[in-house]
Amino acid sequence: MSENRSGAPTDSDPDRTDEPVRAHYEWESTPPSTAVVETVAKATGSEPTSLGPLYDSLDPDALNALVASIPPSAVGRDICISLALDGHRVTIYGDGEVVVRTGATRV
């Protein structure tokens, strides 16, 4: 990867896109830990089962409990959790959106 005049990274691979992958979930029916795995798989073009175990990077039960603890009155874009997972930056929003930026590990 190189940098252009603005200092922004560029990539010589024309098929690569640095656009984040976004997915929306209802936390009542999909646990955040499942949403993270599904969205990372979508972003990488992989099957969810081909990814390493989530618990090697974070405690899925703790993530689920943390999101569940957000009061309904606070749910929205103001609440977010960001983490690095397998070389990707993952952001989980209180409103059910999960955003994955591939190849971006800085949180």
Instruction: Per residue of the chain (107 residues), give pLDDT as tens.
Output: 333 343 333 444 434 457 899 999 999 899 999 999 999 999 999 999 888 888 888 999 999 999 888 777 776 667 889 998 888 999 999 889 999 998 765 55
What's residue 56's pLDDT? 86
What's residue 9's pLDDT? 38
Q: Provide the whole-model pTM.
A: 0.77
Does residue 20 sit in helix, strand or coil? coil
What's residue 82's pLDDT? 93
Q: Which residues pair with 101 in a beta bridge?
A: 89
Q: Which amino acid is at 89?
A: R
Please give the Cα distance from 56 to 77 (Å, whole number). Answer: 28
Answer positive or negative: Cα dihedral of 104, 99, 8, 11: positive
DSSP run (H or E) holding 24? strand 21-24
Please give the Cα distance from 65 to 29 (Å, whole number). Answer: 14
